Structure 1
Amino acid sequence: MKILAIASAGGHWIQLLRLLSAFEGHDISFMSTKASFASTVNGMSFYAVPDANRWNKLKLIYLAFRVAKVVYTLKPQVIISTGAAPGLMGIIAGKLLGSKTIWVDSIANVEKVSLSGKIALHFADKVYTQWPDLATQKITFAGNVLS
């Protein structure tokens, strides 16, 4: 199975790496906002994209096009993200192209689901929270990535 795993730098990336064992035996590619992260997934395809957020709309649009281009080129069967903007853009692009999509909201979101997570609810096939109190009919709690 071809999988694209996407996360921003920092905690999002660390949480994504904690999920690596679930991808064993699959053709996995990674995408993040720091090119230097390629060394943390040696031997696997890696795509660097610019960082962006809701405060810079032009960068966000540019990010969306860059992510969509990679998704269109790779045509992954599954896209998984732990956040934030690059992952959301990947979830949206993947959904439009027929990929199965999974959003894992960051463990840092203790009191409420992230803005990206709320938007991902409209596109992702499955949305996970890492806090039992945030689980709903649409958001699944199945434990946390960082323990």
Structure 2
Amino acid sequence: MCFYSWPTFASNNCSYVVGTCLWTSSPYISIKSKLSLFLQVLRKLKVTKNLHCESLNVTGGHTTEILRLLEKLSNAYSPRHYIIADTDEMSAHKINSFELDRADRDPNTMFPEYYIHRIPRSREVRQSWLSTVVTTLYSMWLSFPLTHRVKPDLVLCNGPGTCVPICISALLLGILGIKKVIIVYVESICRVEHLSLSGKILFHLSDYFIVQWPALKEKYPKSVYLGRIV
């Protein structure tokens, strides 16, 4: 099995899928501008150039949360690259609606293009931990070529296991001197006192780790607490 992707445009004749979203952008957007989605006090900063953005999410609440974050982004955050698990179909309908609504609100946008990519899940529900190691390595094996091709400026994720291989691949781009990728992890609103497994892994790997409850901020002082943002 291998990941696949196809270009998608905001028109009434296309279908969409939601998942992880990778953003790639031109080098003109500042890091502060990239983070203006979350740092609400910086909302007035002007985005001067395109941003390649990669975003990751999965079926259910994670998809809803990531789309709420994405709707706050300007059209300068384009093209948008969504990454979802290869077994995730429900998210497709949510992305479809999201991008159609986005196009309807701003039909004259200069950047309607976005892409959808699929990778194997790192772990299925009730999958044994031993086999999870194998499936995660396999997912990572397929994620790195994708991330290398997209070369995102910003990776935005919010909790699903699918985001771990992508974030590690993005980190490798910087280690190998290919490109420095900003990784922003937003812990799910459902995580009140304890981090998700993905959060525990990416807490030390992400550039900005955002939590939505004060209890998590107390446990993880290096995290960023902005209250509820989704």
TM over 0.5: yes
Q: Structure 2 unaligned runs (5+)?
A: 1-50, 97-112, 174-179
Give a deviation string over 1:107-143, Cα, whole Å, max 9, x none. Answer: 1211211121121111100001111211133111112
Aligned equivalents of 1:45, 1:36: Cα separation in 2:
17
Q: Provide the residue aligned with 1:119 in structure 2.
A: 201
Q: Provide the residue aligned with 1:51 in structure 2.
A: 121
Matches within 5 A, 1:91-106: 91-97=167-173, 98-106=180-188
The farther-off stretch of 23-32 and 98-107 is 23-32
Shift of residue 36, structure 1, vs aligned partner: 5.2
Q: Provide the residue aligned with 1:134 in structure 2.
A: 216
Q: Structure 1 unaligned runs (5+)?
A: none
Choose from 86, 94, 97 the match for 1:40: 94
Q: Which has the larger radius of gyration?
A: 2
* Number of aligned positions between the proteins: 146
TM-score (norm 1): 0.88
Bigger proportion of residues as helix? 1
Aligned equivalents of 2:95, 2:146: Cα separation in 1:
18
Choose from 5, 10, 21 the match for 2:71: 21
Choose from 140, 157, 178 the match for 1:81: 157
User: Over aligned residues, Cα RMSD in angstroms?
Assistant: 1.8
Aligned equivalents of 1:62, 1:46: Cα separation in 2:
19
Choose from 85, 109, 131 the match for 2:191: 109
Q: Provide the residue aligned with 1:7 in structure 2.
A: 57
CA contact (8 A) 2:55 2:156 kept: yes
Aligned equivalents of 1:46, 1:35: Cα separation in 2:
12
CA contact (8 A) 1:84 1:116 kept: yes
Give the counterpart letter for 1:19 in structure 2. L
TM-score (norm 2): 0.58
